Amino acid sequence: MERTTIDLWVGVFVALGLAAIFGLALKVGNLTSSNIGETYTVTAAFENIGGLKPHAPVKSAGVVIGRVDGIVFDSKDYEAKVTIKLDKRYEFPKDTFANIYTAGLLGEQYIGLEAGGEETVLKNGDKISHTQDAVVLEKMISQFLYNKASDTKSSETTKAAE
Amino acid sequence: MFKGLQCVFTGLGHRVIEGVWRIGAGARLFSYIGFYLFESFKRPRLIVREIFATGVLSLLIILVSAFFVGMVLGLQGYNTLQKYGSSEAIGVLVALSLVRELGPVVTALLFAGRAGTAITAEIGLMKATEQLSAMEMMAVSPVARVIAPRFWAGVISMPILAALFSMVGVLGGYFVAVPIIGVDSGAFWSQMQASVDFRDDIVNGVIKSVVFGVVCTMIALFEGYDAPPTAEGVSRATTRTVVNSSLAVLGLDFILTAFMIGA
């Protein structure tokens, strides 16, 4: 085959390969959403983060506005310290509430921010002080069973009294 | 009785010695390729021609199989996921299984069958017709001129083919899930993007395909270079290329996955 034809085909082949890797990174992977332009960092402490992972989305009113950057265990307070990167375009009041929610019944966990009413806004390096932990299913079930057991016991005692 | 025992041990010894000899010869060939690294990249035209033979000509089989693999994954995944009412997760299933495992592994298996056999047969026949000896007579190293360019071409082609396989497979899954089954297109992509990580999934898949590229090409080259210079010898070497490459790819895949998942 002609030399230039081979060159052309190999060029097309390599370009296709690079395009495929690029496409995988952008369309399939989360490379685009993990660096959302300029960001500022805030931290939040949770007693229990459940299954929250780095790169998990941070949403407010359902819109993704940031990403979880890192999670470390604070051995002084025995809490999980979560670093969050938020899009610079969005400002939040200082008394914003950070909750850990689950998408669907078995979906991944994400942080939901609910804006408070204060005038001053969160700045780079600030800490969100109002947080709510992830719901632990076992705890909820055991609480439910405990309540159920105490209910039946109390109804039995009232019956015996009658 | 004694004679039979002796026969058993002689046979065992012969096999072990031959196995060790082949490992040594393979390692020597590999180090020669490394030795000629600079020289082979000084003449990129040889490598480009081999990329055309191994990579570009494998495109059709890789792309067609990728599309079908993706479509089958979509159908099978939907069939199971809809029982749990989460058919939107089909995108995650297709993308993760393709990018992490099926892309690199199936590409390597097809590559061994399509390009590996061609390399082995070509080099084996070159040896049988004494073309390699003729090169040595002219003070041209056959490793630098024939072996090394094919090696680099295989190593370069494999990750490209694997990436194309994953991408086309995802498109195949999309084709089944969205227009045919009717899964929401936005949910398909967004769930996929939420759970496929660039570093942990895509880069690891590329690393796997590079390793498979080295292993498959090396096995094909060595079997061809080592083939007895007869018609039967070349045919046996070609068979061994497919068998050994496939086993090596599947075994290595397990080891690499164990390291990457960090078990």
Check CB contact under 8 Å for B56 and A57.
no
pLDDT bracket for residue B255 (50, 70, 90): very high
Check CB contact under 8 Å for A30 and B56.
no
Q: Which residue has the higher pLDDT, A37 or B206?
A: B206
Contacts of B161 in chain A (CB under 8 A): 17
Give the best residue of B46, B47, B52 to mutate against chain A (max A CB count within 10 A): B52
Average pLDDT over residues A27-46: 74
Q: Is A112 within 8 Å of A92 (Cβ atoms)?
A: no
Q: How far apart are CA A90 and CA A149, in angstroms?
A: 48
Question: Does the pLDDT at position A35 exceed 70?
Answer: no
Check CB contact under 8 Å for B170 and A33.
no
Contacts of A54 in chain B (CB under 8 A): none
DSSP state letters, B101-149? IIHHHHHHHHHIIIIIHHHHHHHHHHHHTTHHHHHHHTT--HIIIIIHH
Question: Does the pLDDT at position B254 exceed 90?
Answer: yes
Q: How many CB pairs under 8 A join A and B?
A: 83
Q: How far apart are CA B199 and CA A154, in angstroms?
A: 56
DSSP state letters, A76-137? TTTEEEEEEEEETT---BTT-EEEEEESTTTS-EEEEEE----SSB--TT-EE-EEEPPPPH
Check CB contact under 8 Å for B206 and A25.
no
Q: How far apart are CA B171 and CA B190, in angstroms?
A: 15
Q: Is A97 within 8 Å of A129 (Cβ atoms)?
A: no
Average pLDDT over residues B243-262: 93
Average pLDDT over residues A104-128: 82
Q: Which residue has the higher pLDDT, B2 or B118?
A: B118
Q: Is A133 within 8 Å of A48 (Cβ atoms)?
A: yes
Contacts of B160 in chain A (CB under 8 A): 13-14, 16-18, 20
Q: How far apart are CA B98 and CA B165, in angstroms?
A: 8
Given A10, A21, A30, which is nearest B193 (Cβ)? A30
Q: How far apart are CA B79 and CA B94, in angstroms?
A: 13
Contacts of B167 in chain A (CB under 8 A): 20, 23-24, 28
pLDDT cut 70: percent of chain B above it? 100
Average pLDDT over residues A28-49: 75
For residue B103, give both structure tokens: 């892309």
Q: How far apart are CA A57 and CA A34, in angstroms?
A: 9
Give the pLDDT confidence of A55-107 residue by residue, as tens digits. Answer: 788 888 888 888 888 888 988 888 889 998 888 888 888 888 888 888 766 66
Q: Note the pLDDT of residue A33.
A: 53
In this prediction, the answer to ipTM > 0.85 reads no
Q: Note the pLDDT of residue B248.
A: 95
SS3 A29: coil
Q: How far apart are CA B208 and CA A20, in angstroms?
A: 16
pLDDT bracket for residue B109 (50, 70, 90): very high
Residue A40, Cβ neighbours under 10 Å: how many?
Answer: 17
Among B159, B157, B172, smallest CA distance to B74 is for: B172
Check CB contact under 8 Å for B201 and A31.
no
Give the pLDDT confidence of B117-150 residue by residue, as tens digits. Answer: 999 999 999 999 999 999 999 998 888 889 999 9
Q: Which residue has the higher pLDDT, A32 or A160?
A: A160
Contacts of A24 in chain B (CB under 8 A): 99, 163, 166-167, 170, 202
A window 60-99, beta carbon within 8 A of B: none
Q: Is B221 within 8 Å of B151 (Cβ atoms)?
A: yes
CA distance A159 to chain B (A): 43
Check CB contact under 8 Å for A25 and B198.
yes
For residue B206, give both structure tokens: 């590329």
For residue A98, give both structure tokens: 């950070």
Check CB contact under 8 Å for A25 and B202.
yes
Give the pLDDT confidence of B4-54 residue by residue, as tens digits. Answer: 888 889 999 999 999 999 999 999 999 998 888 888 888 888 899 999 999
Contacts of B159 in chain A (CB under 8 A): 17, 21
A108 forms bridges with which residues in the sheet? none
Check CB contact under 8 Å for B52 and A10.
yes
> Given the structure tokens 């390096």, which residue do they identify?
A125
SS3 A19: helix
Long-range contacts of B252-261 (CB under 8 A, 24+ apart): B252/B211, B252/B212, B252/B215, B253/B101, B253/B104, B253/B105, B253/B208, B253/B212, B256/B207, B256/B208, B256/B211, B257/B100, B257/B101, B260/B200, B260/B204, B260/B207
Q: Is B225 within 8 Å of B123 (Cβ atoms)?
A: yes
Question: Does the pLDDT at position B203 exceed 70?
Answer: yes
Q: Note the pLDDT of residue A161.
A: 64
Check CB contact under 8 Å for A28 and B196.
yes
Contacts of A58 in chain B (CB under 8 A): none
Contacts of B164 in chain A (CB under 8 A): 16-17, 20
DSSP state letters, B174-240? HHIIIIII---HHHHHHHHHHH--IIIIIIHHHHHHHHHHHHHHHHHHHHHHHS-SSHHHHHHHHHH
SS3 B165: helix
DSSP summary character for residue A67:
E
Q: Is B95 within 8 Å of B172 (Cβ atoms)?
A: no
For residue B60, give both structure tokens: 């059709």
DSSP state letters, B31-85? HHHHHTHHHHHH-HHHHHHHHHHHTGGGHHHHHHHHHHHHHHHHHHHHHHHGGGT
Give the pLDDT confidence of B60-91 residue by residue, as tens digits. Answer: 999 999 999 999 999 999 999 888 878 888 98
Q: Note the pLDDT of residue A92.
A: 87
Q: How far apart are CA B140 and CA B232, in angstroms?
A: 28
Given B48, B194, B202, which is nearest A24 (Cβ)? B202
- CB-based contact, B160 to chain A, within 8 Å: yes
pLDDT bracket for residue A162 (50, 70, 90): low
